[in-house]
Amino acid sequence: MRPPRALAGLVSTRSYVTYSEEELVHKLGTNPYSFLHVLQRRSPEADARFSGVRKGYEDFLANGYLVADAEPHIYLYRQQWAGQTFVGYLGLVSLDDYRAGRIIKHEHTLEAREALFARYLETVGFHAEPVLLTHPPVPELRATAAQVQRSEPLLDFATTDGAVHSLWTVPDPQPVQAALAQLGRLYIADGHHRMASSERLGENAFVMAYLVDSSQISLSSFHRHIAGPAIGDWVSALGAEPVAQRPDGLPEKGFFALDHRGWWKFEPDNLAFPESSWLFEQVLAPFWNVTDERHDARVRYEPGVVDLARVEAGRRDQETIFVLPHPHWDDVERWADQGKSVPPKSTYIEPKLRSGVTMYAWK
């Protein structure tokens, strides 16, 4: 399923959780084609939590805002913004490969969230946003992508966040499938809960996925904000040195920190990946008595792509901010290959994919 060419830019949307309440009201009030109307549809039946979403989807089909392709395809999808270009293949991957360990995760999932999303999928019967998977660079895949991009795209539109989105049909899927089959494994970059929930549901054998080579993945850390005073002198204990002026970006090694006194830098000798674990164990736990980082109300997160000038301007009273070093995808893959999971909010990964550019419906 995909929107018609003329409506694609209006139908596709960011995940609704990224919008403020004011933004949602504005989007829903000014754009009748936005897929947010489906995702936000409420059912009048108290015991049918997600049936409104399914009804909204069926209404979009009836109105022609979504149309079904006559036959299955592998697509090529390109996203361009701020000097970055991401090009990869959109299609279906097998849950059998996920169960067999050929699609590898690097994050733990929450069982309650898995179960909730499985019930959602059981009701709505579609994937509106693909799981993001990576693989090593493959010359054959790059060559096919370059050839496909020389043709006229099916969809080509810009969005208000400054991104340009283009979608092509891959005329012959066999070379793409053959090249991917030689890899032996793929890595989940984003969408761990979507994959796990689909596997838990067991209703359908496939998951919609976007496959890009790992050299294209853009990786940042998350800034960690911790409210309230520290227990003891963390600056002296960590050997932190004052920084004369605001840093330009993420540190390549060590940490930046910001409190009411200004900016600090410290570089522990025993620092290793994942750096978020080191910060929790050596700083947040002993100096702020944080025992559960995910559920501690004093801790909030900000993507590492947020400029440090904005971070500085947005620091709340009695808040200390820790800026983690720039992560590398090779470390994530190495960790995943060992069967380990990185802590929550360790990596902020781009591209971020929109809902409604393509959809996979099994009901």
Is residue 310 pLDDT above 90, yes or no? yes
What are the DSSP calls for 128-174, one per residue?
Answer: SSPEEEEE---HHHHHHHHHHTTSPPSEEEE-TTS-EEEEEE-S--H
Whether 183 and 229 map to the same domain: the answer is: no
* Residue 222 β-bridge partners: 303
Give percent of the chain with pLDDT exceeding 70: 99
Give percent of the chain with pLDDT exceeding 90: 84
**pLDDT per residue as tens digits for the range 196-250:** 999 999 888 999 999 999 999 999 999 999 999 999 999 999 999 999 999 999 9
Lowest mean pLDDT among 39-48, 107-116, 178-187, 298-307: 39-48
**Total structural domains in the chain?**
2
Reference 211, options 76, 105, 79, 349; nearest CA is 76
Whether 80 and 213 map to the same domain: the answer is: yes
Whether 282 and 180 map to the same domain: the answer is: no
Whether 81 and 171 map to the same domain: the answer is: yes
Reference 131, options 56, 196, 39, 203; nearest CA is 196
Whether 234 and 275 map to the same domain: the answer is: yes
pLDDT of amino acid 163 = 93
Question: Does residue 27 lie within any of the structural domains?
Answer: no
**pLDDT per residue as tens digits for the range 166-200:** 999 999 999 999 999 999 899 999 999 999 999 99
Whether 240 and 214 map to the same domain: the answer is: no
Cis before 153? omega within 30: no
Whether 113 and 251 map to the same domain: the answer is: no
Is residue 1 pLDDT above 90, yes or no? yes
Question: Does residue 205 lie within any of the structural domains?
Answer: yes
Domain limits for position 141 = 72-218+348-361
Question: Does residue 167 lie within any of the structural domains?
Answer: yes
Whether 356 and 208 map to the same domain: the answer is: yes
Question: Does residue 107 lie within any of the structural domains?
Answer: yes
Is residue 44 pLDDT above 80, yes or no? no
Whether 144 and 280 map to the same domain: the answer is: no
Lowest mean pLDDT among 10-19, 29-38, 81-90, 172-181: 10-19
CATH number of the domain enclosing 208? 3.90.1530.10
Question: Does residue 207 lie within any of the structural domains?
Answer: yes
pLDDT of amino acid 16 = 81
pLDDT of amino acid 280 = 96
Specify the pairing of strand 299-303 against strand 218-220.
unpaired
Whether 158 and 281 map to the same domain: the answer is: no
Whether 178 and 245 map to the same domain: the answer is: no
Question: Does residue 50 lie within any of the structural domains?
Answer: no
Whether 103 and 186 map to the same domain: the answer is: yes
**Left if phi > 0, otherwise alpha if psi is -120 to 50, otherwise beta: which for 96?**
alpha
**pLDDT per residue as tens digits for the range 122-167:** 999 999 999 999 999 999 999 999 999 999 999 999 998 889 999 9
| pLDDT tier for residue 45 given thresholds of 50, 70 and 90 | low
Q: Which two tokens stand for residue 203?
A: 């209703």
Local structure of 290: helix, strand or coil: coil
Question: Does residue 270 lie within any of the structural domains?
Answer: yes
Q: What is the mean pLDDT of the chain?
A: 93
State the pTM of this model: 0.91
| pLDDT tier for residue 74 given thresholds of 50, 70 and 90 | very high
Question: Does residue 9 lie within any of the structural domains?
Answer: no
pLDDT of amino acid 132 = 97
